[in-house]
Amino acid sequence: MVIWPAVAVFVALFAVVTVLGFLGPYWKRGDLDVLHEWALGGRQFGTLVAWFVIGGDLYTAFTYIAVPGFIYGNGAIGFYALPYTALAFPWVFVMAARFWTIAKNRGYITYADFVRDRYDSRSLTLAIAVTGIMATMPYIALQLVGIQVVIKTMGLGGTGIWRDVPLIMAFVILAAYTYRGGLRAPALVAFAKDILIYVTVIVATVVIASKLGGYAHIFAATGTALAARPNPSGLLLQPPAYSEYITLTVGSALAILMYPYYLTGLLSAASAKVIRRNAIALPIYSLLLALLATFGYMAIVAGIHPDTSNETVPQLFLHMFPAWFLGFTLAAIAIGALVPAAIMSIAAANLFTRNIYREFINPACSDRQEATNAKLTSLFVKFGALAFVLSLPMEYAINLQLFAGGWILQTLPTIVFGMYTRFFHRRALIVGWLIGLAIATYMPIHTFRTLGHFSSLYGLHVGSTVVTGFVGLYALGINLAVTTILTLVFDAMRIPRGADRTQPADYIEDTEKPIAA
């Protein structure tokens, strides 16, 4: 049954956002036939705009849909998303500002640009670029899943071909304004997105908590309900889950800076000072996340029984709000998915264009050709993710996302250590990356074959003890060990390291230097 008042409010808000998206090219004008203008907004966003852009690509459908759904199904372990942000922002404060400085001085648009110059290795550059694209695609698909869930909640699912028409229309509009305006389009939309999200979360927190008898009752009832399930969990972690919680927290915190879409937001900032200010201010979003996370518990107490965990929050809102405000909340979730999807597609396009197309296919391409190729690639990426989501069951998109964190962590030794030292040998980094990637892929597949479901957690047998932890962190540890040992071996064999084309001055922040094109 279609909930028409909700549809009307949803469409009205979506129309406003669409207009903002198409106004993007006229905001902070620049030559959009140059890649850094189209892809990075001309590297001119100040503290406020950068805060919305970076927050826009950090807080995605994973935040609004997956985290509360995970907590609904698994209890306390799902709250790992809160401490990981607390660890991530000091990491961003130091590392992101340093890379911004290097990128500004050298004119970089991607991490792979830095790898090319730092290690003089086309193979390693390609490895980093391909990994970035691989890790980004599942996240774009996850945004689409979030929009699918919203459309279904309003009763617009339909049957046959009509089931997917609303999602296709939404993504065509997104693709159009991103193609025209580049990063400026989602940056402008991000303002509206955050306003909608904050209003939704604050109102939902107050109204739903009061309807359910307050937080004391919510937590008490949730604890009882979780303990009574066939696979019991609870409000507090049990000792066997400590390693899971810690490794998920640390691994996620380390991975966050590695994602290409996060880098795209960072490099749009006007200075390293803007990055540091954002690292200080972004924890405000963590407060939002804490409130969102409790929606999983509210859904348990409210007696919500969604078909999948991804429908937990929309179904909670459906049961708790009048139709018109339901439309408002669902629009907030959908727009909250569209903004990061746009930034993610730009990030993937940057990697393909700069580090595959320009490096291997057309080295002599002009700036205009480079920008045009990035625009076309961003379309291909979006519609590739759309085709994936429409052709496979919803759970496959979520399961594939589990691989992304493990994959992207394998780029950390090359990028992060490379910002401070040239100790690692370029060939050792390639071997370590390949082994880490293989392990991060094998472990979830082995879990599926053994237990019948995918998981980002894997149990290692240490004697008679089983230590369960995040697969990405396990793979990273082996990656680092292999890379270190092979570096010593290759240096002893006098295998050439390649020339480092970066200069010491490139690592020093200098606000007087012009931004390279």
* pTM across the whole model: 0.94
Neighbouring residues of 287: CB distance < 8 A, sequence distance ≥ 6: none
DSSP state for residue 45 in the 8-state scheme: B
In tens, the pLDDT along 261-301 reads: 999 999 999 999 999 998 888 888 888 888 999 999 999 99
Query: How many other CB atoms are there within 10 angstroms of residue 406's CB atom?
Result: 28
**Least-confidence region, from 350-364, 381-395, 397-411, 462-476:** 381-395
Mean pLDDT across the stretch 251-265?
92
State the pLDDT at residue 179.
95
Place of tokens 């954002």: 278
Higher pLDDT, 348 or 162: 348
CA distance 436 to 45: 36
pLDDT tens across 79-105, in order? 998 888 888 888 888 899 999 999 999
Question: What CATH code would you report for 33-402?
Answer: 1.20.1730.10
pLDDT > 90 fraction of the chain, expressed in percent and rounded:
66
Query: What pLDDT sits at residue 493?
Result: 96
Task: Give the pLDDT of residue 503.
Answer: 94
Cβ(258)–Cβ(408) under 8 Å? yes
- The per-residue pLDDT of the chain, averaged, comes to 90
Among 439, 497, 433, 425, CA closest to 471: 439
- pLDDT tens digits, 295-314: 999 999 999 999 888 899 99
Quick one: pLDDT at residue 57?
A: 74
Residue 467 has phi, psi (to 5 degrees) of -105, 115
Which pLDDT band, with edges at 50, 70 and 90, does 512 fall under? very low
pLDDT digits (tens, 9 = 90+) for 200-243: 999 999 999 999 999 999 999 999 999 999 888 889 998 888 99
Q: Which of 59, 105, 71, 39 is nearest to 511 (CA)?
A: 105
CA angle 387-393-397, nearest 5°? Answer: 70
3-state secondary structure of 230: coil
What is the pLDDT, as a whole number, of residue 490? 98
Given a cut of 90, whether residue 460 has pLDDT beyond it is no
Check residue 29 and give its pLDDT.
87
Structural domain spans, the chain: 33-402
Q: What is the pLDDT of residues 3-53, one digit of tens each?
A: 999 999 999 999 999 999 999 999 888 999 999 999 999 999 999 999 889
Compute the average pLDDT of residues 452-456.
82
Report the distance separating Cα 355 and Cα 349, nearest Å: 10
Confidence check: pLDDT of 159 > 90: no
Helices (DSSP H) in 212-282: which residue ranges?
Answer: 215-227, 242-256, 260-267, 272-281
Residue with tokens 């990273």: 476
